Structure formats: C-alpha cells, structure tokens
Structure 1
Amino acid sequence: MCFCCFYKKSNSFAGSTRFYNILSNQKTLEIGYTWYGKNFQGTGLNKNCKYLLLEFAFEKLLIERVGFIADFENKKSIAAMKSIGCKEEGILRSNIFKKDGTRRDSIVLSILKNEWSEDVKQKLNIRII
C-alpha cells in the first residue's frame, strides 16, 4: 500500500512511503521504501508522515506490531527510526544483496501497539510540525 507524501508548506509532492509485508492474520505490517526529494529531507515531513502511518496502522487497522528494516550501515535512517520511538530487535546478518552485488546486514526495529498507545504517540505528537 503506497502513499504519496505532499508537503503543504511548498504545495508540492515530496516523495513516497508504504506499508508492505502486511500480514493481516498476524496483525503486523512494515513501513518502509520511503523516499523524499533532497529539498524535503530534514524538514520534519518524515516524522509527520510516520505519525499518520502509525496512527492509521494502530488505531484504524488495529495492527499489533509495526516493523521497520534498514541497512545496518545506514546510521541516518536508523537514527530517524529510533527518534520516532522504534526499538531495536536485532540484526539479520548478510540477508540481502546491495545494488553493487555485495551483501548487507539489516537492522530490524519495531513499535508495538502498547508502546504506541502508552508513550510513542504522545512523544511523537509533540515533535511533529
């Protein structure tokens, strides 16, 4: 399920993000494949979009766990995920190929429904623009 991200301040499309690996019988999904143009990076748009996605996942779809996966070397992405309340679950060692043909380790993070309703939602709501 792909979403276009629109930046109201400049009245323009900024990028996209999506729900994927949706397992409705397990009440889990992942958020990722997020891309924003350079002009929109660091604007707070990502936090706003993640807030809306998490709110929709937990409160409308009644999901119990939202997962996130990133290249273990992508410290900027990992920091962004942790800044919205994700907790590290572990490392998948040499799990997929990179574009250059080498293999990468991936970090797995998540937010659980009880974490969202007890803490993450409130903290993230304060930080969005």
Structure 2
Amino acid sequence: MTNFDINVDYILENDFVKLIPLQENHFHDLLYFTENEPEIWEYTMVKANTPDNLKKYISAAIEARIKQQEYAFIVYDKMQNKFAGATRFCDINLGLQKMQMGYTWYGKHHQGTGINKHCKYLLLDFCFETMHMERLEFRCYTENERSINALKSIGCTIEGVIRSNAIAPNGLRRDSMVLSILKHEWHFNVKTMLQNKLYSTPALAI
C-alpha cells in the first residue's frame, strides 16, 4: 500500500528541468502560451487557449487534486530559464496503486529539445519509487503516431485500442491507444534504459 500524501507539494528536478505542483499563481507563468500559441490545445478536450480557459484549466486541476484524482505540475526548463508547459498524473487510484499520466504539453520552443524525456524520467521515478504505484497508464489518439512513438521510446508497452471511448474536439467519436509501464518493468529495465538515453546521448529528439 502506498503511503504517498497527495496534499504534500513535491518538487521534482534534475539539472535540466524542474516540476512544480501547479498553483493558481502560475496563471501568469503560462499566459504567454495561451496568448501566443493557442494551437497547442487544438486537438485536446481540456483547453487553455484563452485567458478564461487557462484560469478554468488551473482551477480544475487544483480541484481534482483536492479530490485526490489528479496531481498537476508546471514544467520549468532550466536550460532556457523559462516555464515550458505542464503535465500531470490523473485517474489516481491509491487503493489499487495505479494511475494515468497525461495532459502533457510544451511550448513550441521547448518541443524536440529533450525536455519531455527528462520530465518523463522524473515522473516515472516519482511514480514507482515514491508513490509505489504498480501500474502507470497512458492514452492517446490512435492516429497520434508522434505521441505513440514517444511513449514507446520511454519504455511503454502497447496494450491495445479502446474503440470509440471518447469524443474528439471535432465532435466525432475517437479510439484510444492504451500503453503502460508496470512497476517490475521500471525496476527491471526501463529505469536503466532511460538513464542511458538521457545521459549517454548528445541529443534527444523527443
């Protein structure tokens, strides 16, 4: 059983990135992306593409944390000394020791810089080493090959497709690809594989 306390503010960081629990005062830190890069949320159901939607986005994340359903982070890029985006754990089930990771987005100048792999490593380490989860799940559109390949590159296993399980922003039904990492996989090979990718290669494309 996990002894993780969702009410504690955990800060995750390495030399490249810092993940800080999302708070209301982060509105102005993310407002640049809302005003200048609203296309970030073109294909997402939960949008922060206007100042009002950004306020709702942050408030909803905080409320979900109070209900012990989600734990959201704002992402700070140490290499560029700027806030870069956001990510979160969601559908948290502490009793069954499982949850999902999602709602991840980055500004265009932070995409393809390797920041995503550093974030994912910190989050995976926190998930399995601190929260003591047994299962971490990811879902994305079946046609989103870039996201699927990125998840496979961090050690995820494709489990299958849930057909017509949600509604896309265009109003049409969507299929979701389900991927996951299990606790024993993290300890057996995923952790070492990611460490090698992060610190043994000169550049990261994800």
The unaligned stretches of length 5 or more in structure 2 are 1-70, 200-206
Q: Which residue matches 1:82?
A: 152
Write 1 or 2 for the structure with the bigger share of strand.
1
- TM-score normalised per structure 2: 0.62
Write the letter of the residue equivalent to 1:119: N
**Aligned equivalents of 2:76, 2:150: Cα separation in 1:** 19
Match of 1:73 among 143, 159, 164: 143
Query: Shift of residue 123 of structure 1?
Result: 0.4
Structure 1 or 2: more helix by fraction: 2
State the structure with more CA Rg. Answer: 2
Gaps of 5+ in 1: none
CA distance in 1 between counterparts of 2:90 and 2:165 reads: 18
Find 1:101's aligned residue among 150, 155, 171: 171
Cross-structure match for 2:111:
41
**1:72-93 Cα shifts (integer Å, max 9, x gaps):** 0000000000000000011000
For residues 6 and 125 of structure 1, the distance between their equivalents in structure 2, rounded to whole angstroms, comes to 20
Letter in 1 for 2:81: N
Match of 1:5 in 2: 75
**Partner residue, 1:54:** 124
Distance 1:25 1:117 in 2: 21
How far, CA to CA, are the matches of 1:125 and 1:52 in structure 2?
A: 10
Alpha carbon RMSD of aligned pairs, Å?
A: 0.7
SS at match of 2:175: strand
Identity of aligned residues (%): 51
- Tell me which stretches of 4 or more aligned residues in structure 1 moved more than 6 Å: none
Query: Are positions 1:118 and 2:188 aligned together?
Result: yes
> In structure 2, what is the Cα distance between the partners aligned to 1:107 and 1:10?
33
User: Which residue does 2:98 correspond to in 1?
Assistant: 28
Alignment TM-score, normalising by the size of structure 1? 0.98
Distance of 1:47 and 1:124 partners within structure 2? 8
DSSP 3-state at the match of 2:113: coil
Structure with more contact order per residue of length (Cα contacts < 8 Å, sep ≥ 6): 1
Count the aligned residue pairs: 129
